[in-house]
Chains A and B, each alone.
Chain A
Amino acid sequence: MNRTRILALLSLLACGKGAAPPQDHIALPPGAQLKPFDPTKPGEARPLYTAQLGGRVYVTLSNARAQGNFVVTAGPGFLGGIDPFAGTVDLIDLGGSDEHQCTNPGVVRADAGKLYVACSGDFSGTTPGRGVFEVDPATKAVSRGLVTPEGIVPSGVAVTAGKIWLGDSITPQLVSIDRTTFTAADGADAGHPAIPVPCPSTGQFPFVPYVGIVNGDLYALCATTEAGVLGRFDAQTGAAKGSVAVGAQPTEFAATGDGRIAVVNSNENTLTLVTPGAQLSAQLALTFSSSTSTLQDVKARGNLLYTVASGSNTVQKIDLAAAGGPKVVAEANTGTGSNPFNLEALDDDTVVVVNYATSDVVSRSLKTVQ
Chain B
Amino acid sequence: MFECKAISLSRSGRQIIGPVDLKVEPGELLALIGPNGAGKSTLLALMAGLVKADSGSVLFRGAAFNRNPASSEFFARNRAFMPQFHTLSFDFTVEEVVALGRSPYHGRCRHGEHQKVIRRAMEMAEVSALADVNYTRLSGGQQARVQFARVIAQLDCGQAAEATAGKCLLLDEPTASLDIRHQHALMSSVKTLTANGLSCVAVLHDINLAARYADRIAILEAGRLLAIGTPDSVLAEPLLEKAFDVPVRVLRGVLPGQCLVACGPEDATGPCTTQQPAFGKPPAAQDTEAHRLGFG
Q: Do A and B come from one complex?
A: no
B interface residues (Cβ-Cβ under 8 A, vs A):
none
